[in-house]
Amino acid sequence: MSITQAVLPGSTAVVIGLAAFGVVVLPVTWLVARRLAVAAHQGAHALTGLLVYRSVRDGIDVESAAGLRGVPVALAGYLGPSGFGLGAAKVIELGYATVVLWLVLVLAAVLLIGLRRSSGLILAVLAGVIVFGLARYTPVHAQVVTAYALAWLLLLSGIRRVIEVGISGITGVPGILWFPLWLVAALAAAAEGARLLTMQA
Q: How is the chain split into domains, by residue range?
A: 10-197
Residues 6+ apart with CB under 8 A from 71: none
Q: How far apart are CA 110 and CA 114, in angstroms?
A: 6
Determine the average pLDDT of the residues in 126-149. Answer: 88
User: Are the CB atoms for 96 and 143 separated by under 8 Å?
Assistant: no
**Which amino acid is it at 92?**
I
- Give CA–CA dist 195/93, Å, rounded: 10
Interval 60-90: pLDDT, tens: 444 444 455 555 666 666 778 888 899 999 9
- Total-model pTM: 0.80
First-last CA distance in the chain: 19
The confidence band for 193, taking pLDDT boundaries of 50, 70 and 90, is very high
